[in-house]
Amino acid sequence: MTNKTISRRRFLKTVSGASIAAAGFPYFVPACALGQARTTGRAAPSGRIVIGCIGVGGQGTSNMNAFMNNPDTQVVAVCDVERGRAAYRGSTFGREPAKQLVEKYYANQKGSGTYKGCAAYSDFRELLARKDIDAVSVCTPDHWHGLISIAAARAGKDIYCEKPLANTVFEGRVIADTVKRYGRILQTGTHERSNDSVRFACELVRNGRIGKLQTISINLPCDEPHHAEIIKNAGPQPEMPVAEGFDYDFWLGPTPDEPYTERRCHFWWRFILHYGGGEMTDRGADIIDIAQLGNGTDSSGPVEITAKGKRLPKGLYDVFMEYEFEFKYANGVQMVGKSEGTRGLKFEGDKGWIFIHIHGGRLEAEPESLLKEVIGPNELHLGRSPGHQRNWLDCVKSRSEPIAPAEVGHRTGTICHLTNIALLTEKPIKWDPKAERVTNNTEADMMLTRPMRNPWYL
């Protein structure tokens, strides 16, 4: 940790219980100090949800804009270790540009005359210490999801956390348990789950319209321009001076100390296993999440995982870009996947099939008449979402379970991580979804968690 970070201790003393999940004791905030009365679930008289946004890069800024565009919310703080970078990949991101966006938005809104401005922080713990903030958006690199979400739950905040929910199986379990313990509302950012056509397709499957579900086929290609750029730059990268205004040491956080090079951070981190899991935990988290919904296994997972693939040549990026995998579920369903084909998934039964395209949710089916079916009043209904962010906001108010709660996000993330572990070990995995442990491979079981760099720990 940098000296700059350590020098904040005097300020952070008062919030140490919320600083990191391992603080060892809960951090209590009086319900009357929050926009929502947390102990009862009653909404504040204004009904307004006060939000802080942690991580305001591309997706984080998109989520921030989505939250602002709801009349019953108010964004009052942003946080990022990047002060602001001009024209990075064609856009400007960081805490200062985000602050400016927020303040410009409210300056143009009627009824915002009492708005007191947007604060900008580089340390998420300072934002979490604010008693006026009800909820937070967590849109950092994956290796920060666990620590920040756990700290937020302990600080009495509801959480919208981007997918994958966590960077390891163990972190995901701790998030889910902590959210439950402190009575928080967490929405995992698997937004495809909120698509009407996706939910309709899963209703058709769950209600037997394709007969007995036998196979779920996953197409997860690595064929986009950013994949090509990763492959092109897969070799070792030169060490560089840290970019001005970027707290690189804090960005690394719980991961090993590594020399700075631009292509380690800012979007490209997703293809380095310390920080992400490649396409498997990127779009894979969306597609496998839908597979879980259609299979009715949201609270469980497969019992066997096999996988094989090719990693990039030794260099900065170490994820798998070519792969095949197969999962077996206790209900007899097989899930098979590959790094090619049209991105999406296919539910195959003994009477037909349905293919869901990612993104957008366009459906194909055989027979085509399946798509004109009506789900009867006495059949299983999965409900509809007003939008992923809106669904979370509604549930923050009602204290009901959102479309993609922590347990669901954890179970989906677990499958993605187990697939990467099977690829790394090159051995089949027998998985106990109840105990959440690998039963046949000690090496793989030990990979369910990772050591964290001091002073961060769970």
pLDDT digits (tens, 9 = 90+) for 386-444: 999 999 999 999 999 999 999 999 999 999 999 999 999 999 999 999 999 999 999 99
- State the virtual CA torsion across 50, 53, 58, 59 in degrees, nearest 10: -70
Going by pLDDT thresholds of 50, 70 and 90, the confidence category of residue 85 is: confident
Question: What does the pLDDT read at residue 223?
Answer: 94
Question: What does the pLDDT read at residue 443?
Answer: 96
Instruction: Name all domains of the chain by residue range, CATH numbers in brackets.
Output: 3-192 (3.40.50.720), 196-373+406-446 (3.30.360.10)
How many whole angstroms separate alpha carbon 83 and alpha carbon 173?
A: 32
Average pLDDT over residues 255-269: 94
Question: What does the pLDDT read at residue 114?
Answer: 72
Question: What does the pLDDT read at residue 8?
Answer: 37
Question: What does the pLDDT read at residue 429?
Answer: 97
Flag whether pLDDT at 111 surpasses 80: no
pLDDT cut 90: percent of the chain above it: 81
Whether the Cβ atoms of residue 67 and residue 52 lie closer than 8 Å to each other: no
For residue 43, the cross-strand partners are 36
Tally of CB atoms within 10 A around 159: 27
Flag whether pLDDT at 33 surpasses 50: no
Whole-Å CA distances, 81 to 14, 96, 244, 366, 413:
22, 11, 11, 49, 25
- State the virtual CA torsion across 128, 168, 256, 244 in degrees, nearest 10: -50
Whether the Cβ atoms of residue 299 and residue 411 lie closer than 8 Å to each other: yes
Flag whether pLDDT at 50 surpasses 50: yes
Flag whether pLDDT at 217 surpasses 90: yes
Question: What does the pLDDT read at residue 86?
Answer: 56
Flag whether pLDDT at 3 surpasses 60: no
Flag whether pLDDT at 41 surpasses 80: no
Higher pLDDT pick, 64 / 30: 64
Q: Closest Cα partner for 217 from 332, 343, 309, 320?
A: 343
Per-residue model confidence as pLDDT tens digits over 339-351: 999 999 999 999 9
Q: Closest Cα partner for 312 from 251, 222, 392, 378?
A: 222
How many whole angstroms separate alpha carbon 51 and alpha carbon 65?
A: 12
Higher pLDDT pick, 92 / 230: 230
Average pLDDT over residues 99-114: 84
Flag whether pLDDT at 16 surpasses 90: no
Question: What does the pLDDT read at residue 234?
Answer: 86
Flag whether pLDDT at 37 surpasses 80: no
Question: What does the pLDDT read at residue 113?
Answer: 64
Flag whether pLDDT at 266 surpasses 90: no
Structure tokens at 144: 């920060």
Flag whether pLDDT at 54 surpasses 80: yes
Per-residue model confidence as pLDDT tens digits over 164-200: 999 999 999 999 999 999 999 999 999 999 999 999 9
* Average predicted confidence (pLDDT) for the chain: 89
Which helix H or strand E contains 252, and what residues bound it? Answer: helix 248-252
442-451 long-range contacts, Cβ below 8 Å, gap at least 24? 447/421, 448/168, 448/169, 448/170, 448/417, 448/421, 449/168, 449/169, 449/170, 449/171, 450/167, 450/168
Output DSSP code: residue 385.
-
